[in-house]
Amino acid sequence: MNIRLADGRDIDNLIKVRLDYFAEENWMLSDEMRQMLISQLRQYYTKHLNKDFFAGFIEDENKVIVSTAFLLIIEKPANLSWPTGKTGLFLNVLTYPEYRKKGYATSIMKILIEEAKKQGVSYLELSASESGKPLYRKLGFLEHKSSEYTNMRMSLI
């Protein structure tokens, strides 16, 4: 197995694993939505890869991706919760079913956690599925209760 960070030659791989992640989550995409996402992802990865977005892959001996994880680094004005001004968000943690329970997701996340430390990230966060919680706990993630503020969202599309 080969563990590596994605580079500019991996744009198509990044798009594929992102769409595979959506399929694993059983998100149904119309053809129009799929094309919109592909277009945006291609632009996004080209602009952000290895700047404020990092992706890790584990490949088998045939260079087939078996596991992946994404790390998005967000920079904002510092405060007491993020004194470096940088926070990290894990996305798209995916190990294909036939490769699960072999430690691949743990390995790729450890690489990205080290990258986050190099980048000066104050903290890392993620949204955990029930099946993912044991992995994330093993890596040191704790369930985080929101502050006294209420999280709110406005959809614009």
Q: What is the spatial distance between Cα 36 and Cα 54, in angstroms, rounded to a whole number?
A: 22
Q: What is the spatial distance between Cα 101 and Cα 141, in angstroms, rounded to a whole number?
A: 19
Over the stretch 34-58, which tens digit does the pLDDT of each residue have? 999 999 999 999 999 999 999 999 9
Is 2-139 a domain of CATH 3.40.630.30? yes
Other CB atoms within 10 Å distance of the CB of residue 61: 7
Mean pLDDT (whole number) for 115-134:
92
In this structure, is the dihedral angle defined by the CA atoms of residues 120, 125, 97 and 43, taken in order, positive or negative?
negative
Q: In angstroms, what is the C-alpha Rg of the chain? A: 16
Per-domain boundaries in the chain: 2-139
Mean pLDDT (whole number) for 110-128:
95
Position 146 confidence tier, pLDDT thresholds 50, 70, 90: low
Is the model's pTM score more than 0.85?
yes
Q: What is the spatial distance between Cα 22 and Cα 19, in angstroms, rounded to a whole number?
A: 5
Q: What is the DSSP string of 82-102?
A: -TTSEEEEEEEEEE-GGGTTS
User: Which strands make up the sheet holding 2-5, listed edge to edge?
Assistant: 2-5, 53-59, 65-75, 86-95, 123-125
Over the stretch 66-110, which tens digit does the pLDDT of each residue have? 999 999 999 999 999 899 999 999 999 999 999 999 999 999 999
> Of 16-30, 53-67, 107-121, 131-145, which range is least confident?
131-145
Q: How far is CA 27 from CA 43, 69, 96, 125, in A?
A: 22, 18, 16, 22
Helix (DSSP H) and strand (DSSP E) numbers for the chain: 4, 5
Of 40, 53, 39, whose CA–CA distance to 8 is shortest? 53
Which residues, in sequence order, are CB contacts of 110 under 8 Å at separation 6+? Answer: 139
The distance from CA 94 to its chain's CA centroid, rounded to whole angstroms, is 9
Mean pLDDT (whole number) for 19-43:
95
